[in-house]
Amino acid sequence: MLKIVEIENLTVQYPDVKALDDVSFEINQGDFLGIIGPNGAGKSTLFDSMLGLNTKYKGTIKFFGEDIRKSKNYLKEIGYVPQKPIFEKNFPVTVTDVVRMGLRNESDENKIDEILQQLWIHELRNRRIGELSGGQQQRVFIAKALIINPRILILDEPVTGIDQQSIDLFYSILRELNSKQKITIIWSSHDLDAVNQLANHVACLNRTLFFHGESEKFFSNDELVKQYSEASMQEHMHHH
Amino acid sequence: MHRALISGIAIAILCSVIGLFLVLRRYSLFGDAIAHSSFGGIALGLLAGVYPLWTAYGVSIASALIITKIKDRYNISGDASIAVLLSSGIAVGLVIIGLSGGFTIDIFSFLFGSILLVSVNDTVLILSLTGGILIVILLLYRQILYSTFNEEQAKVSGIPVEKINYLIVFMAGITVVTSIQLVGVLLISALFVIPNVTAIMYGKGFKQTAIISMSFSIFSVVVGILLSYIFDITPAGTIVLLAISLLAGTMGIKSSGLLSKS
């Protein structure tokens, strides 16, 4: 198995709170990793650190064997779909415009149509991004992430506020990307059932890493699942 | 007269392109702020006996870059930093004008524009600055658009977002001072904002929106200059009123349901 991500003793200290505490794990090529954890567990901090958006961390993050502090080249291999992409509702860009932003090489223009068809959004290509539903927008951002043929796809809680039909379509797209196109997927989610169905590995995070391993091992261990559910339930109550 | 039209068209294109990025970055009043700080620069030039636009370029670009730095460093919101820049430029200008013995006719031409008096040298300068800035924008089009659309995602795609931000502010500084001759310090932001707000309403993609905005901007400037020449009225005010009437017309079309897309 080829290790493509190695995270060693990752600690992120914010002024008032330790967001991540000595987190270490590895991701192999072809993994479909579901990262679960309650709100404030440090999932976004983990992603920000991995993507170079947060550089104030202790420890080491390596992609393809290389420390990301030394080179940003690894970003060329990563497609990133943020939780809720922030943009002005009236921003004058069409679906095609948005996907084109992901391109690094202008000559790949004809790939845009191909990828829009693959994600069932080709007929929306001339519509403005702000006019689309949440599920359609999400597929546009996946298309933008995929246009560079990434080896790794990173998705942050990508089904927040999206209808069930779009979620099902989204899951089937992810499954196909991982099984047929062999893209490594790193995906944070609240939805335990979906993680159980889709991911082959699970990382359970709550500032420290509770568990990391094959998803069968996590879901067959009632004690772990119970602990996780209680922790996230407390968090849920706390938030309401 | 033809110098005024040529310069006017160049400035119209320049303002509408730079303005589109500023409007989308919620930086609509930035043009105004730089213009007000350039007022300080103009006063400085008049006091020192230097051609005032040169000192205006220096002061505007410097203050635009400094305010952007301060905004990032001390986490001041965009609108507050614009207010600081705007008032400090005027304050400096007033003090310098006081020192140099009060308002002169020159100051008024910078406050309200004097496109009909534009010289050959001015025209050449305006055309070359417009050409230069448009080339930079065309070359870096994807990076500028992407970092305007979403900074975080642009960073992850390896775009040097901070450098792009400074570049935009730098180009906006040049654009503002260049445009002072057309509409003056007080009405600059009209050219940055109004054609773009109008064009965005047509619900099109980015390139089409930019083209619509440029067309409206050119129309307002050309017709404005001609009308002001024929009826001997101020070009700056006429141009801005024409741009506003295009905006009002578009709003009318939109609310009548003829523009279905939002």
Res B262: pLDDT: 44
CB-nearest partner of B205 from A52, A94, A103: A94
- A52 interface with B at CB cutoff 8 Å: yes
Q: Would you say residue B220 lies in a domain?
A: no
The pLDDT of residue B185: 82
A55 interfaces chain B, CB cutoff of 8 Å = no
Q: In this complex, is the C-beta atom of A167 within 8 Å of any C-beta atom belonging to chain B?
A: no
Chain segment B209-238, per-residue pLDDT in tens = 999 999 999 999 999 999 999 999 988 899
- Contact across the interface for A53 and B152, Cβ inside 8 Å: yes
**Residue from B113, B72, B60 nearest B225 by CA:** B113
User: What tens-digit pLDDT sequence spans chain B (262 residues)?
Assistant: 788 899 999 999 999 999 999 999 888 888 888 888 888 888 888 888 888 888 999 999 998 888 888 877 887 777 788 888 888 888 888 888 888 776 666 777 788 888 877 889 889 999 999 999 999 999 999 999 999 999 888 999 889 999 999 999 999 999 999 988 888 887 888 999 999 999 999 988 999 999 999 999 999 999 999 999 999 998 889 999 999 999 999 999 988 877 654 4
A150 within 8 A of B229, measured Cβ to Cβ: no
Residue B123 lies in a domain: yes
C-alpha–C-alpha distance, residues A174 and B185, integer Å: 54
For A196-236, the pLDDT digits (tens) are 889 999 998 888 888 888 888 888 888 778 777 776 666 55
Q: Measured between alpha carbons, how far is residue B28 from residues A2, A95, B23, B79, B157 in Å? A: 50, 25, 5, 9, 26
| CA closest to B20 among chain A residues | A92
Query: What ranges do the domains of chain A cover?
Result: 3-83+151-239
Q: What percent of chain A is predicted at pLDDT more than 90?
A: 45
Interface contact flag, A86 B209, Cβ < 8 Å: no
Nearest CA to B250 among B187, B196, B183?
B196
**pLDDT value for A160:** 66
Tell me the two tokens of residue B143: 């990076």
User: ∠ CA B152-B157-B162 to the nearest 5 degrees?
Assistant: 55
* Candidate from A88, A96, A104 with C-beta closest to B24: A88
Q: Do B142 and A103 touch (CB under 8 A)?
A: yes
Q: Which CATH superfamily is domain A3-83+151-239 in?
A: P-loop containing nucleotide triphosphate hydrolases (3.40.50.300)
The boundaries of the domain holding residue B82 are 2-184
| Helices (H), ranges, chain B | 2-24, 30-48, 52-74, 78-99, 105-112, 120-139, 141-149, 151-156, 161-200, 206-231, 235-255
**Cβ contact, residue pair B206, A80, below 8 Å:** no
Per-residue pLDDT tens listing for chain A (240 residues): 789 999 999 999 988 888 999 999 999 999 999 999 888 888 889 999 999 999 999 999 999 999 999 988 899 999 999 887 777 788 999 999 999 998 877 667 788 998 998 888 899 999 999 988 888 888 899 999 999 889 999 998 766 678 888 888 888 989 999 999 899 999 998 888 888 889 999 998 888 888 888 888 888 888 778 777 776 666 555 554
Q: Give the integer Cα–Cα distance in Å for B168 and B212.
A: 21
Edge-to-edge order in the sheet of strand A78-81: A78-81, A152-156, A184-188, A32-36, A201-206, A208-214
End-to-end alpha-carbon separation of chain A, Å?
43
Q: One-letter amino acid identity for A75? A: L
Contacts of B132 (CB under 8 A, 6+ apart): none
Chain A residues whose beta carbon lies within 8 Å of the beta carbon of residue B164: none
CA proximity to B43, closest of B90, B93, B111: B93
Closest CA in chain A for residue B139: A106
Residues in CB range of B121: below 8 A, 6 or more apart: none
A 83-112 → B contacts, CB under 8 A: 85-88, 90-94, 96-98, 100-104, 106
Give burial (CB, 10 Å; 0-12/13-18/19+) of B105. exposed
Q: Which of B1, B30, B23, B24 is nearest to B175 (CA)?
A: B30
Distance of alpha carbon B17 from alpha carbon A12, whole angstroms: 41
Q: Say how many domains are in chain B.
A: 1
Burial zone of B158 (CB within 10 Å; 0-12 exposed, 13-18 middle, 19+ buried): middle
Q: Which of A128, A149, A152 to probe by mutation at the B interface, max B CB count within 10 Å?
A: A128
Q: Is A169 on the interface with B (CB under 8 A)?
A: no
How far is residue B35's CA from residue B181's CA, in Å, rounded to a whole number?
Answer: 11
pLDDT of residue A237: 59
B153 closest CB neighbour out of A82, A91, A131: A82
